[in-house]
Amino acid sequence: MKISTTKRLERLTERYLNGGMDRRTLLGLAAAAGATAGLSMRWMPQALAAVTEVRFDGWGGVVQEAIDKYAFQPYTAKTGIKVTQGTFGDENEIITKVKTANPGEYQVIHSSGVEYYKRYVDGGFNSEINEANIPNLKNVMQAMIDPFLKIAPKLSCAPYDYGTTGIAYNTTVISDAEAKEKGVALLTDPKYKGKIGGYADMETRLWYAALGTGQNPNDIKDLDAAWAKVRDNRDLVKKYWSSGAELMDLLAKGEIVVSDAWSGRVAALQQQGSPIGYLDPPGSFAWMEDMLILKGSPMTECEELVNFMLDPATAIAVAEGQNYPPSLDPTKVKLTEKIEKLPAFDPSGTMKSLTFADAVYWGDHNDEWTKQWDRISKGG
Amino acid sequence: MLSAADRRRPWLLLAPSLITLFVLMILPIAIMTMFSFYEFVTAGVEKQVFTTQNWHDFLTDPFYHMFLWKTVRVSAITAILCAFMGYPAAYCIAMTTYKHKWVLLLLLIVPFWISFTIRTFSWIHILGEQGVINVTLMKLGIISEPMPMLYTEGAVIMGMIHFLLPYMILNVYVAIEGIDRNLISAARTLGCTAWQAFYEVVLPLSLPGLMAGLLLCFVLAAGSYVTPQILGSTRDALFGNIIFDTIMSELNWPMGSTLSLVLLILLGAVAAIYSRYMGLSRVFKGLGG
């Protein structure tokens, strides 16, 4: 129920007269109201009501270029709402910014994975979207929606794409046969000491260490052995990369010949003609990304944008551009041949062929393991 | 007897500086101090209750001590190398009879026109396996395998020297420029060789400038985190990187604030010691040119 300003002041006066409020508080509130009224101008309500732009923050590089070209530019042309963009290399970076900003300053985030979604929820940054405003959500795989609903009963995001962090290798140095035979062990192969790379991220490191020690990454029994494997890898690594652009640069320049790598970025390198092979070993780290709407955002416009992005024509064009399969259910929406050939593509729409991180398991250990990884990475 | 208006005037004139200082320095430090006594709950979440746990963790954890010591060591090496490289350059600029001395000074400032990050990234193309040095040496047949230069502590020190050298040269230059040339002539007239005149006259008189340069280089190197991030491996991290990771990766603001205050106290102590013996006015003179 909306209450008018007059009614509010009447209620305040009544509380004061009834002894429910001291004189100082009443005067303070009256002064604040007066100051607000004095500072307000006639154009303010209209200006506040008319949303002319939406803020988006993503991973930059070829991924964001594709989103901009195939989603944002057509969206602006259609609605007149501009999409202001920012980038980040690591999602913790944007969480820090969100934490320090006023609600509504950051609005839509291209968030990576359910584990990060949990962090936003834990921090109280999540919104509640009105699914009726995003009718294209019905085309999204239910298998991608369910993990988010386990974290919070009301969605704050729409799953958008998915991919894997597999193993990329320089085919002029490592043959396909060798890569297939060694698999995860390539990341700790002393033969390639000083030519190995890796993502500077706790989850990726520990995931591959778990696989390297023959354990289930979602239920690591021998943690010491896994950390020992992380150290083995660290001692052989030339550089832990911290952004997709850095990964592509290191691989393309030959600074490293093998690394765990994001499937879409490797596909982009292959399309550019780089001699890079890609392998998803058994248990390869799969992840899903979502368009997260933060608390305080102009919900209607953000929902409209997300709905536009999930429109099959848009989502397919973006997927082809960024080289990550879309969240659209292939049993409901006809996808293109190019998408069906992308690494990690799941034609069944059930995602059963991929291994995702258990958000609760990883979330429960996140603080402790991130601290441990930060130390190990620095020689600890 | 000063009137009330006269007494107020200095404060009114100082007000903009004091407000700026308060808002941009005192207030953030106060907030950081407050955070350092908060309790870390989980990534990005802290509880506003008073605890000394963060300080206890810092004081008892050798991991932090090791990186603090490493930062002091790397910063000291960087500052000393800057002194060795910067002094001859500053001496040449100050003593040259070249009539367009301003060109030489301009050359010192030119690097500042380019973004610091781009300047740092440029080292990748120099020190990398496909960089200028390795490619040239391999083409000349001097080496058969690329030398590992990038992502090492040496690369980090090199990057920091690149960024700090102008500060050292400017400080020393100002000190040498301020020396009365008659003193050098007098020393020579009294039988000093050129080397003795330098050693007995120029060097002692330029020492305050050299010390100011050392202080500046040390403080700036100790506080840097971009250079180790770009040119070093994770093992070459400095204390600034530990702070960065604690805040940005672990999202542990209470501990990050504690570590930031530790670095602030350390660098403040170094500056205080310098001020006690040399006076900070030298540093400002050098910076002012």
Chain segment A230-276, per-residue pLDDT in tens = 999 999 998 899 888 889 889 998 889 999 999 999 998 998 899 99
Cβ atoms of A359 and A118 within 8 Å: the answer is yes
Q: Which residue of A has its CA nearest to B40?
A: A367
A5 occurs within a structural domain: yes
Which residue type does A348 have?
S
Could you tell me which chain B residue has the CA closest to the CA of A100? B44
Å from B163 to nearest chain A CA? 23
CB–CB contact B249 A380 (8 Å): no
pLDDT > 70 fraction of chain A, expressed in percent and rounded: 87
Q: What is the pLDDT of residue B281?
A: 65
Question: For residue A97, is it within any domain?
Answer: yes
Provide the 10 A C-beta neighbour count for residue A32: 10
Residue A91 scores a pLDDT above 90: no
Q: Please report the DSSP string for B197-262 in residue order.
A: HIIIIIHHHHHHHHHHHHHHHHHHHHT--HHHHHHS-GGG--HHHHHHIIIIIS--HHHHHHHHHH
For residue A38, being part of any structural domain is answered with no
- In chain B, what percentage of residues exceed pLDDT 70? 96
Q: Is residue A197 part of a domain?
A: yes
A296 shares a domain with A212 = no
Q: Are residues A372 and A267 in the same domain?
A: yes
Measured distance CA(A4)–CA(B171) in Å, rounded: 65
CB spacing of A119 vs B44 below 8 angstroms: yes
Given a cut of 50, is residue A195 above it in pLDDT? yes
Q: Percent of chain A having pLDDT more than 90?
A: 69
* A371 touches B at CB < 8 Å: yes
- What pLDDT score does B249 carry? 83
Specify if A60 maps to a domain: yes
Instruction: Output the average pLDDT for chain A.
Output: 88
* Backbone φ and ψ of B239, nearest 5°: -60, -35
Helical (H) or strand (E) element with B88: helix B62-95
Give A290: exposed, middle or buried? Use CB within 10 Å, 0-12, 13-18, 19+. buried
The band of B99, judged by pLDDT with boundaries at 50, 70 and 90, is: confident
Q: Which chain A residues are within 8 Å of B250, Cβ to Cβ? A: 367, 370-371, 374
pLDDT of the residue at A90: 80
A125 vs chain B: nearest CA distance in angstroms? Answer: 11
* Residue A47: pLDDT band with limits 50, 70, 90: very low
Q: Residue A2: pLDDT band by 50, 70, 90 thresholds?
A: very low
What's the rounded mean pLDDT across residues B86-96? 94
Structure tokens at A161: 């794409």
Report the CATH number that the domain containing residue A181 is assigned in CATH. 3.40.190.10
Q: What is the mean pLDDT of residues A280-306?
A: 95
Could you say which residues from 99 to 118 on chain A have a Cβ atom under 8 Å away from some Cβ of chain B? 99
Range of the domain at A8: 1-33
Q: pLDDT tens across B219-273, in order? A: 999 999 999 988 988 889 999 999 998 998 888 999 999 999 999 999 999 999 8
Nearest CA-CA partner of B72 in B222, B214, B213, B217? B222
Same domain, A261 and A321: no
Residues A227 and A322 in one domain: no
CB pairs under 8 A between A and B: 74
Verdict on whether the full-model pTM lies above 0.80: no
**A106 lies in a domain?**
yes
What is the tally of structural domains in chain A? Answer: 3
Angle at A155 between CA A154 and CA A160, to 5 degrees: 165
Residue of higher predicted confidence among A38 and A177: A177
Does B117 have pLDDT greater than 70?
yes
A93 touches chain B (CB under 8 A): yes
**Do A96 and B128 lie within an 8 Å CB cutoff?**
no
Query: Are A327 and A208 contained in the same domain?
Result: no
Let me know if residue A94 belongs to a domain: yes
In a 10 Å sphere around its CB, with 0-12 CB exposed, 13-18 middle and 19+ buried, how is residue B102 labelled? exposed
Write a three-state SS string for chain A: CCCCHHHHHHHHHHHHHCCCCCHHHHHHHHHHHHHHHHHCCCCHHHHHHCCCEEEEEECCHHHHHHHHHHHHHHHHHHHCCEEEEEECCCHHHHHHHHHHCCCCCCCEEEEEHHHHHHHHHHHCCECCCCHHHCHHHHHECHHHHHHHHHHCCCCCEEEEEEEEEEEEEECCCCCHHHHHHHHHHHHHCHHHCCCEEEECCHHHHHHHHHHHCCCECCECCCHHHHHHHHHHHHHHEEEEECCHHHHHHHHHCCCCCEEEEEHHHHHHHHHCCCCEEEECCCCCEEEEEEEEEECCCCHHHHHHHHHHHHCHHHHHHHHHHHCCCECECCCCCCCCHHHHCCCCCCCCCCCCCCEECCHHHHHHHHHHHHHHHHHHHCCC
Whether residues A62 and A118 fall in one domain: yes
**Cβ pair A237:B251 closer than 8 A:** no
Rounded alpha-carbon distances, angstroms, from residue B29 to A337, B34, B35, B246, B262: 57, 9, 10, 17, 12
Min distance A242 CA to chain B CA atoms (Å): 10
ipTM for this model: 0.73
pLDDT of amino acid A48? 46
Give me the pLDDT at residue A281, please: 93
Please provide the CATH number assigned to the domain covering B62-288. 1.10.3720.10
Query: Considering only CA atoms, which of A137, A169, A338, A347 is closest in space to residue A258?
Result: A169
What angle, rounded to 10 degrees, do the helices at A223-236 and A359-377 form?
Answer: 50
Tens-place pLDDT, residues B122-160: 888 899 888 899 999 999 999 998 888 988 999 999 999
What pLDDT, in 10s, does the model give residues A331-370?
999 999 999 999 889 999 999 889 999 988 998 898 899 9
- Please tell me whether residue B45 adopts helix, strand or coil conformation: strand
Give mean pLDDT, residues A28-52: 52
In chain B, pLDDT over 90 holds for what percent of residues?
A: 69
**Distance of alpha carbon B129 from alpha carbon B112, whole angstroms:** 27
- What integer pLDDT is reported at residue B130 of this predicted model? 82
In sequence order, the β-bridge partners of residue A258 are: A169, A196
Nearest by Cα to B83 from B178, B221, B194: B221
Of the pLDDT bands very low, low, confident and very high (cuts 50, 70, 90), residue B112 is confident
Residue A44 counted as domain residue: no
Please check whether residue B171 is in contact with residue B284, taking contact to mean a CB–CB distance below 8 angstroms: no
Region A11-33 average pLDDT: 55
Claim to verify: residue A167 and residue A155 sit in the same structural domain: no
Residues in CB range of A2: below 8 A, 6 or more apart: none
- Across chain A, which distance is largest between two alpha carbons, in Å? 86
Residues A150 and A221 in one domain: no
Pair A199, A329 in one domain: no
Q: What angle do CA A223, A224, A227 make, to 5 degrees?
A: 85
Residues of A within 8 A of B128 (CB-CB) are 253, 255
Q: Where do the structural domains in chain B lie, given as residue ranges?
A: 62-288
Average model confidence (pLDDT) for chain B? 91
The pLDDT of residue A44: 45
Contacts of A196 in chain B (CB under 8 A): none
pLDDT band at A11 (very low <50, low <70, confident <90, very high): low
A367 and chain B in contact, CB less than 8 A: yes
Whether residues A178 and A292 share a domain: the answer is no
Point out the residue among B42, B245, B246 whose CB comes nearest to the CB of A122. B42
Above 60 in pLDDT, residue B288? no
Q: Give the other-Cβ count within 10 Å of A379's Cβ.
A: 17
pLDDT of residue A39: 47
